[in-house]
Structure 1
Amino acid sequence: MFPSIFARSWVPFSTFASPAAEFAAIEQHEYIDRRRTLAARLRDDISDEKARRPLVIVIASARQQFYAPDVPYPYRESSYFRYLTGLVQPKSVLTIVDRHNEWPQSILYVTKKTAAEELWEGPGQSLATIAAISGVDEVRDVGLLGEDLEKIGSAIASYDTEQFRRGDCVFDVLSPCGQILPLRQYIDKVRWVKSPSEQNLMRKTCEVGAKSMNAMISKCLGIENENEVVGRLELEMRRRGASYPAYPPVVAGGTRANTIHYLDANQKLNEDDCVLVDAGCEYKGYISDITRVFPVAGSFTSAQRALYEALLYVHKELLRIVETVRPLTLNQLYVEMINELGKNLYELNIFSGELDGQQLIHEVDKLCPHHVSHYLGMDVHDTATVSRNTPVVPGVVFTVEPGIYIRTNDNTVKKEFRGIGMRIEDDILITKDGCEVLTQQCLSGSHEIERLMRPY
């Protein structure tokens, strides 16, 4: 798949030193356990007549993308590859070979940097470090991947069909296999419940994200352009230890907040605007995702405050439901959001005319056209193949993010509320006793936000 760079030889893990303390964010044994668990889950779904065949799992690191020749985008590792290895290692492929009634064997195929690459990019990780972090059984040259796969013979295969295409040795060797199991949905099932070490990393990334959001808002009184918000926010995240923003932030002033994924963030802000900021950071591969709204002038107008307080009430009610209701699915939580928004907006009397129950639900669905929640972890939309109809269990992390979006031409809503878009989003960890709001340090009350902007 990738060109051979260095001598083709087996590198047994036993030749390396044991993992050092600096790798302890997630320890080596956890990566080994993840690979074994994945293999066992896949093995359980192999048909009886093929049960004695070897199972071959293949996943590659992310491909480097480029702005222009020799000008790369910042590299972000495939979360699937990093979850199984702990590595950020371009041009690499992990294989897990599970032979019937034997422990799975993990082999990492890597590409050594050329002298020119080391000159321009710096040295890569040593083979000893790669093995010590990941706990793989062997490290081999990536040029050997194709012939090693061919030696396995007739097998059951599981690989990421989005990564490998015709012409790749993985596709060409494994596509004729009699049974191919979809890889991502199996890894998602393992990733969905976060381990104690992952929960600690989620706490940290959410703490960094929350404190950064507070710090940014405190410096935005009278700010003049959306881009200034983007710059201040990234500065606050990086100075607290984040690797980089988790995704391009939404920074939307005034009516632009009604474009849910508004990414331009380059427009002038007016004194009477509210600014919606949806942003998160990445810390050691784990993602936070927070949304807050603040007034440029440091004080909400009466209409802005009324809508914000109604939305905050709904948000707090949803957190109460997450804390107390079991069983609970994300789709149930969405239904609760629509019902709560309907009641609160009706009581606020924002609509131009009378609405019956069905009409009210229709209008609320229009005012909040997105789901209330998604899973969170190593990706901002984590474990996407896990259904939102699955009852949550301790260790699952997800967002709670009700919103209200009223376009300027929406005549079903009274004039003073038109053009306002708002969302409040926090990150939640399900625990055995209820839940933990991981982003609770991020202020959300309207008066709290105003005091943050005008402390004196």
Structure 2
Amino acid sequence: MADSTDTIDSPAQHAADHNNEKRPNSNRSTTPASDTFKDYISSQWAPQSDVLPPARESAAFAAARRARLSEKYTGQRLIIPAGRLKQRSNDTDYAFRAHSAFAHLTGWGSDSEPGAVLVLEPTPNGHDATVYFRERAGRDSDEFYANPEIGEFWIGPRPSIEQVASDLDLAVRGIAEFDGVLETINSETLVNREADPALTESVDEARLRFAAERALSTNASDSPFSLEVNGEHDPDEQLARDLSELRLVKDAWEIEQMRLAVAATARGFEDVIADLARSSTHERGERLVEGVFNTRARADGNTVGYDTIAASGPHACILHWTHNNGPVVPGDVILIDAGVEIDSYYTADITRTLPVNGRFSDVQRQVYEAVREAADAAFAVARPGAVFREVHAAAMAVIARHVADWGMLPVTAEEALEPDNGHHRRYMVHGTSHHLGLDVHDCAQARREMYMDGVIEPGMVFTIEPGLYFQPDDLTVPAEFRGIGVRIEDDILITAEGAENLSAAIPRTADDVEAWIARLGG
């Protein structure tokens, strides 16, 4: 790979670009630099497309979300960065994924541009929204052929400012114009801090300059300057919270995206089952399972929504097993926790536990059906008006009863469920549910009173995923149960009438799972 000759020439571009000049590559640069070459490479090109696309379907929904946010922040400027490329190693980067808040408020998904920034500028009637991004390099510039971040020779054609504006139905400007925003930053400017640390640093410096200038011009008897919003001393944190809470209830477009993600994920599970015979003959069969699912994610979506868990045998007892380097042994069960993230960034999150040879043993079936009973109990209380934590409580009551009946507890199930005890949690230490959407653990910065203690509303999408995990060396567990791990996870949409299991078409009962494997596995 050749080197970048990118020149960072403004604070805005410093915040929005990757710092290629800091990478140790100058000793191997072969980028042509002669005037003859530059003249020749900039000539004789067909005109670039200036066709304006229609506004994408998500644009109107994104506008409505911005309006809801605007109502909370009258008179304040909001800066929502997309984020930048993240270094993987030396001069290679991870695939770019825009920050979820940026995607939510613009409708720009897998085709979004690194370094882009959404600014909501206050007006007397709310806010004007503008996206700033690094426009495509002209063919008369060296960036066209020498910049591996934005040059067409490296990454292919990029849209023009006019095309992005039409696509997103938003005002769009070049990233250099973001300098004008930095120059006018004041105490009423907030930034989503985690998305772009370099840009956040620029905003912080601008706010400090404003504070210093204000302090110098303020009488000593006046109260000291403070960045304070609605009585809170961390306004940026409040913004991050509100951006999370804005996603708690999904709109109609988001719900359709979730359906598409679940459908693609279902196809991925079918691919895995059809390939089990091959996976079970390889010494690292878990890797083959992961690879088969990930192929579907790339074929039908953007990528996986999170690292696929392909946990066979005792590995199924490890909650976040992502090494996926073990064998897939007939007679064991394999726990597969996977989700396809589609191009809009919305992701499914589904777990199925499968008998590798197509048939559960008696003990495996016993554990599996106990977990399914817990999931069904949780689903039964997932209704509008219920409190979110009640979903978990319903699943835990079933888990406690079963492990008590199997002789694993030193107390009764009722005693284990008392707040000061919790013996049964030894076998399921995780929660039963989390919100789902643009992030696999969506709305993570929402307040507890809006999340765990929040009231369930129509339009919410969350998982129900109880499990039982009997570690192979756990002496509280009868020998025949040791090394068995089972989780069943579904994606649930709350409706006005109750709840819909979006992943119900993916077999769930032990009998249906066995029939599924028989049909697809041959």
TM-score between the two structures when normalised by the length of structure 2: 0.77
Name the residue aligned to 2:72.
41
- 1:168-207 matches, within 5 Å, as 168-174=201-207, 176=211, 178-179=227-228, 180-181=235-236, 182-207=238-263
Paired residue type of 2:381: I
Structure 1 residue ranges, 4+ long, deviating more than 4 angstroms after superposition: 16-19, 352-356
Compared CA separation, residues 149 and 71, structure 1 to 2 (3 A): closer
Of 196, 203, 210, the residue aligned with 2:266 is 210
SS in 2 for 1:252: strand
RMSD (Å) for aligned C-alpha atoms: 2.4
Within 2, Cα distance between the matches of 1:371 and 1:384?
14
Distance 1:431 1:382 in 2: 19
Per-residue deviation, 1:388: 1.3
Cα deviation for residue 326 of structure 1 reads 4.5
Match of 1:357 in 2: 414
**In the aligned structure 2, how far is the partner of 1:410 from the partner of 1:359?**
18
Q: How does 1:96-107 map to 2 (within 5 A)?
A: 96-99=120-123, 101-107=124-130
Question: How far is 1:427 from its partner?
Answer: 0.3
Summarize the Cα distance change of 1:55–1:111 in structure 2 as closer, same or farther, 3 Å threshold: same
Partner of 1:345: 403
Mapped partners of 2:104, 2:360: distance in 1:
43
- Between the two proteins, the alignment pairs up a number of residues equal to 427
Distance (Å, rounded) in 2 between the aligned partners of 1:118 and 1:69: 22
Which amino acid letter does the alignment assign opposite residue 408 of structure 1? P
Cα distance change, pair 128–308 in 1 and its aligned pair in 2 (3 A): same
Equivalent position of 1:366 in the other structure: 426
Shift of 1:107: 1.9
* Aligned counterpart in structure 2 of residue 149 of structure 1, from 159, 166, 182: 182
Bigger-Rg structure (1/2): 2
1:95-174 to 2 correspondence within 5 Å?
Answer: 95-99=119-123, 101-113=124-136, 114-116=143-145, 117-137=151-171, 139-151=172-184, 154-162=186-194, 163-164=196-197, 168-174=201-207
Question: Quick one: distance in 1 between partners of 2:79 and 2:159?
Answer: 22
Gap runs ≥5 in structure 2: 1-10, 17-49, 137-142, 146-150, 212-225, 229-234
Q: Does 1:272 align with 2:331?
A: yes
Q: Structure 1 pair 110/2, CA: closer, same or farther in 2 (3 Å)?
A: same
C-alpha distance in 1 between matches for 2:202 and 2:518: 61
- Structure 1 stretch 258-267 or stretch 105-114: which is displaced more? 105-114
Query: 2:99 and 2:323 mapped to 1: Cα distance?
Result: 26
Q: Take 1:390 and 1:442, find their aligned partners in 2: how far apart are those partners?
A: 29
Shift of 1:252: 0.6
Q: Following TM superposition, by how much is the alpha carbon of 1:167 offset from its aligned partner in structure 2, in angstroms?
A: 7.9
Q: Does 1:291 align with 2:351?
A: yes
Deviates more, 1:326-335 or 1:199-208: 326-335
Aligned-residue offset at 1:242: 1.5
Q: Could you tell me which amino acid in structure 2 is paired with residue 91 of structure 1?
A: G
Given that residues 42 and 186 in structure 1 are in contact (C-alpha distance below 8 angstroms), is that contact kept between their aligned partners in structure 2? no
Per-residue CA shift, 1:256-310, capped at 9, x if unaligned?
Answer: 1111011100112222211100000111211100000111111111111110011
Structure 1 residues 235 and 174, CA gap change in structure 2 (3 angstroms): same
Give the corresponding residue for 1:9: none
Q: Is 1:424 aligned to 2:470, yes or no?
A: no
Assess, with a 3 A threshold, how the Cα gap between structure 1 residues 149 and 198 changes in structure 2: closer, same or farther: same
Q: 1:242: which partner in 2?
A: 301
Amino acid in structure 2 at the alignment position of 1:106: A
Cα deviation for residue 319 of structure 1 reads 1.4
- 1:51 is matched with none
Amino acid at match of 1:71: T
Q: Does 1:78 align with 2:138?
A: no
Change over 3 Å in CA distance of 1:166–1:287 after alignment to 2? closer
1:390-401 residue pairs with structure 2 within 5 A? 390-401=454-465
